[in-house]
Every structure is written in structure tokens, then in C-alpha cells.
Amino acid sequence: MEGIATREFLAQRPLYSQDTNELQQYVELAVDWEAMHGLLFRAPGSETATWQQTALVPAPITLAPSPIPRSSFDLVVSLQPTLNTLFDRISRDHDFLVSTLQSLGTSDEFTTRVFQMYLKQRLEGAKKPCVIGIHRSDYLINAGAELQAKQVEFNTIAASFASLSAVVGDFHRYMLERTAYKHLLKAGLITREQIPPNESLTSIGDGIAAGFELYGQSEAVVVMVVQPGERNVYDQRFVEKRLWERHHIKTLRLTFAEIRDQCVVDENDRLLIAGQEIAVAYYRSGYAPTDFPTTAEWTGRWLVEKSRAIAVPSLAYHLAGCKKIQQVLANPGVVERFIDDAETAARVRECFVGLYPLDNTSQGMQATRMALHEPHKYVVKPQREGGGYNVYGDDIPKLLTSVSDEERKGYILMDLIRAPPFNSVLVRNGEVVVASVVSELGIYGIFVSDGKNVVVNKQGGHLLRTKAADVSEGGVAAGFAVIDSPLLI
């Protein structure tokens, strides 16, 4: 599929007002609409003010959608089922997982511990009725002579904001119909057709329900494994709502520590809570070391992993999402190991940028020299999810010269993707903010298989996160970005 020329795309983008006084009239309408439609976060808690534990604040959003090339959007949406299949095959290739992750050595304690749990689960022969993949492939639009979507990462665990993303799209349609964006739209055009439909509000719940059915116990429950003090509750509650209203499946919310304290595995490998069987444990936690502050959390996760309950993701899926896997996939012949069709493999590769190891191999040493010589061309990534961990620019030499050779193995080097900035309008904490921004597009993927048959393999909607152009990271929950929706051009 041909992309759009950068110059043509830039010329077709709308022009938004940057006059905050002129735009202030929209804030009350926006904030009230958010409150009415569940576009909310829990307010930061306070030990001295207990009322704050149930106080709500509007989610950070854009006032209007942000331009994305239609050709790029259509391409990555169509590619998602292929990526779902690719990562499922990676997760099932034990030799590939072992050889790739062992190359990290002992450099990353957290990944090593997840890897050791995977090996233990395999050794003990834990059997699961199926796998459920809830993925998200993230992209930035790289501005060369022609705009191209380039993959930032592939998330296999706790891919968030699917629900709120769909609601933001509804908000932008409402604002267009209600106000025609008068005073905000200074030039160009916005039509309803340019804001694509988004099934991410329902796709995750429906994917979990498909796996639940394969578990084969209609009276069982789903456990959503959450972080203590979770603020992004309503993004999660929409999934719970879908499971109940569409599929009549009950959802419980537990932390890993609460699973340790309240759950048991019986002689038939069933995971039980107060005698109630758990069919699915859907992780919205467990992607970072901070989610395992004590042995209690690790014990809670192991209860899930050794039982018959379906973990979302499985340990193999969790490991398949590591940055080291992403880097090795970029090596010649590796995608082709999992995808036989040469044309399909080439389409996957077109989304890659340069990815390099930072180990003691000749390739790794060359990459280290590249990063030290021209650090502003790259980003250094550890084996982490959740935002705030990547290293950019002048901080790269500081990192690489301060870590040991063994520690450096835990990082990869990636070409920096340069997206075209856009002057947008954000609403954060009830205030309107104008900023030059860039947007990161995520496509959700839903994959369910019993090991023999693929039951579900589809794209599951999209997320657009928008951040100030001078901010490197892009996580909403980490405080770097706002939730947006695409305006297709």
C-alpha cells in the first residue's frame, strides 16, 4: 500500500487555534462530558484525606483529533492479525525463547525471574486449556520523503487504555457535531468520516470471553489482576462491564498479593477463591519490578501460572514481548523463521527500524560505538513496559559508560523515529493547554487458540496517545501523554 508524501500530508492537516483564552469556553463542556461517560481516573490518594480515595478526575485528552495518514492507519490495522500469529508462534518456539533470552545473561533480574518461572512451569507440565493474547502494536509515523508507520514496540502484557481510547473517539465526534469546532478550527476541514470507528471498547472483553468458553466451566469467574491504588480503574471497569453485560461472566479484582493470601490450587489444578473456580487471570499488573515489591506478589503469580487458570498473558507471551525479542526479530531470516510467505514477512519488516544489541558481540560493540558517537539518532531500551524507562540523547553516553558489560546486555539500541509535530490543544486537569505534539498509534490485537485451532485472530481497535514534541516518553498512565483519536488524512 502506497504511503502519502510528507509534504502533501502536512498541507492537508487542519490548523487549530492556539489562543487559550478563545478555547477556554470548551473546557467545562469537555470535562462534564468526560464525567458523564466514564472518561475518568481516580484522583491521587492521600493518607490524611480518605475522601480522595474515591474522588475522580477527568482523564487527560485532546480537545480535537490529531492527524494520521490514512494509508499508514489502514496498513497497520491490516497487519495486526499477522503480528498476532507471529508472536503466538514465537511464544511456542521454546528453543528460540531460550536462546534469545539466555543472551541477556543475568543483566536483568526481573526478566530473568519471569524466564525462570516459565522454565519451572514447563518442567512441571502445567496444562492450560488455551492461550489468550491481548496485544498492542505501537507505531510512530516517520517523516521521510514519504510518511511510513514504524513500530515502536509490541506489547503483550497489560496493554491499557483500550476502553478510554474508544470513548475519546466518541467525545471528538460529539464535539464536532455539537460545536463544529468553531473557534478551534482555523483552517482545513474535519468530517465525521475522518474519525474511524473503534471497537477497542468491546474487543478485549469479547476476547477474554472466547477463552473463558474454552475453559469449559460456565460458573467460574475472571480475575483482573490489578496494582494496589490503581488510578486507571475505569478503563478496566469497561472490560468488566462488557464481560458481565454481554457474556454474563463475573469479574473479581485482586492484586498478586491478594491472590497469594486468598487463593489456593486444588488437586485438580483448579485455582480457587473461597471455593469459586477462576477460569481466567487477566493481568493489568505484573509488567515491571515495582509490581513485585515482596515475595508475596511472586508467590501470587506462581499460583496462577501453575494452575489450570488461563493467564493473560501466558509466561511465554510475556517473554515474547521483551525488547530483546523485538531486536532479534530484526535480524535477517528471523521473521521468516515464523512466517513462511515471503511477501507477508516483507510487510512485517517494512515497519521495523534499525534495532541492535548492546552486548559483547561484534554487532553489539559496533552499536555501542554508534550510540556513543551520535546519541541523538537513537533510543536505548531496557526489558521494561509501562513508560519512563527508555534513555535518549545526551543521557545515552552517561548510561553506557556507567554500566558494566554484563548490565549492558539487558539493553537494546533502536533508531529514533522522527514523527512530524502538530500544534494541538490538550485538556489536562481541567485546563486547556496548547502544545506542539507528536502522536503514537497503537493497534490492539486479540488472539485466542486452544493449541490446535485458532478461535479468534483479529485487530481489536486502536489507541492514539499524544505528547508534547519535546517529551521523549509516551505513556498516559506514567504522566507523559494524553488520550487522543486519529483524524485520517
Residues designated as active site? 136, 153, 155, 160, 323, 381, 385-386, 465
Burial 173-194 (b: 16+ CB within 10 A, else e): eebbeebebeebbeeeebeeeb
Task: Write out the three cell numbers for 244.
Answer: 458481565
Sequence letter at residue 291: D
Do the Cβ atoms of 445 and 83 come closer than 8 Å?
yes
What lies within 8 Å, CB to CB, of 77 at 6+ separation is 443, 459, 462
Contact 463, 80 (CB under 8 A): no
Contacts of residue 253, Cβ cutoff 8 Å, sequence gap at least 6: 223, 224, 226, 236, 240
Q: How many CB atoms lie within 10 A of CB 201?
A: 22
Residue 444 amino acid letter: Y
Beta bridge partners, 311, equal 281
Q: Are 214 and 455 in contact (CB under 8 A)?
A: yes
Q: With the CA atoms of 363, 413, 114 and 105 taken in that order, what torsion angle do they form, in degrees rounded to the nearest 10?
A: 30
The length of the chain is 489
CA distance 485 to 196: 8
Q: Are strands 131-143 and 431-449 parallel, antiparallel or unpaired?
A: antiparallel
| CA 214 to each of CA 32, 87, 121, 220, 268: distance values in angstroms, whole numbers, following the listed order | 41, 21, 21, 12, 17
